[in-house]
Amino acid sequence: MKRNFMFQILAAFILAIIVGIIFGERATIIQPLGDLFLRLIKFIIVPLILSTIVVGVTNAGSIKKIGNLGGKAIGYFLVTSFIAIALGLFAGFVFQPGAGVDLAVQGEAVDASETEGVIATLLNIIPTNPVEALTTGAVLQIIFFAIFLGIGISLVGKKALPVQQFFEGLSEVMYKITSIVMKLVPLGIFGLLAPIVGTYGPSVLMPLIKVIIAMVVAVIVHVSLVYSAAVKTFGKMNPYHFFKGIFPAASVAFATCSSSGTLPVTMKNTQENLGVSKGTSSFVLPLGATINMDGTAIYQGIAVMFIAQYFGVELTMAQILIVALMGTLASIGAAGVPGAGLIMLTMVLTAVNLPLEGIALIAGIDRILDMLRTSVNIIGDASACVVVEGGKPEMAVKKGA
């Protein structure tokens, strides 16, 4: 995110509050601007999920063939991502950032009681007609279809190359369209937030501070418990040495909000400071920068809890399970660029029928949350290298150094 863009977001945020306070309920006149933005986000979702997940799975499939290394790394990625989202949900539960506001959502009332129980919900993930899933926008079914397509493409190999290339092309196009739509984020924030502030008063914004606090606490817990334990147990490395070694890359991630952009620094730190071999780091880190995002997973958990509480929606156990699953997938699908986690949040919200309006609220503080999650994302990638390498002699040399 360019500085100019950050400034626009901030300006939109402040302007929305001012307009909301001054004009009160009359601020709802600009609601169409917000709706315009929401419609644009919604129209991206289906092709974006389909193409990015197919591409993600086909890439992981070919990488797996590289063998043990890929298997170990992907296993580690999945376990830590799942812990991260669970932690995020837990933090959202403990801190209750959105509690006590209880906005009635116009037009998009959510009926949590509709869920038919865990087994039926899980069975329902399998579409009987994938085309219907695409046309009705059934996110979970689309994901199921995409994963299977990806596996099929990997298994068929050469003959499926045109299909693979089609999805690769489509995903690039969808990323491009997304980045165009993202330019309208300031407009969306303004159009959605001003009517909310106008109708309910500025106190509706207080919970955002709680979101940041919940995120900071969850991030500290994840980094200090999960990564410390992992590098110590599997990598035989002193956690202090690990954090000190990766600190420069984590700072760059904090400032740039981009795992991909930080990749060269992450590589340098893991090789030079942590003593990880070139072979491991040049394979695990690019893969990790694309599919391993624990910080993003924590964020999905907290954001969903926040939005559910904010709009007074009680999530059922089945829905929480879906969020855990979807949040993990969202963190896998998110690109290592600023704001990607926010876009993927639309997918998780849609899957459990939560109002996308929540995005406008959280978008105002997204940059701060992005700094935190991107740092965690790259620390997680580095920890994967140390774990996969598992106490090789070169690392011992570095440890002594």
Sites of contact with ligand ASP (CB under 6 A)? 257-259, 293, 296, 334, 336-341, 370, 373-374, 377
DSSP string over 76-144: HHHHHHHHHHHHHHHHHHHH-TTTTT-PPPSS----GGG---HHHHHHTTS-S-HHHHHHHT-HHHHHH
- Cβ nearer to ligand ASP, comparing 88 with 338: 338
Minimum gap (Å) between residue 398 Cβ and ligand ASP: 26
d(CA 196, CA 84): 31
When the beta carbons of 134 and 184 are compared against ligand ASP, the nearer one is 184
CA separation for the pair 324, 305 (Å, rounded): 11
72: its two tokens? 């170990």
CB of 125 to ligand ASP, least distance (A): 24
Q: Which is nearer to ligand ASP, 300 or 309 (CB)?
A: 300
Closer residue to ligand ASP, CB minimum distance, 320 or 340: 340
190 closest CA partner among 369, 14, 365: 14
Q: Do residues 349 and 355 touch, judged by C-beta distance below 8 A?
A: yes
CB of 296 to ligand ASP, least distance (A): 3
Residue 67, SS3? coil
Shortest Å distance, C-beta 335 to ligand ASP:
7
Least distance (Å) between residue 334 CB and ligand ASP = 5
CA distances from 363 to 6, 9, 256, 382 (A): 11, 8, 17, 28
Q: Closest CB to ligand ASP among 19 and 376? A: 376
For ligand ASP, which is the closer residue by CB, 186 or 333? 333
Question: Residue 163 Cβ, how far from ligand ASP at the closest point, in Å?
Answer: 28
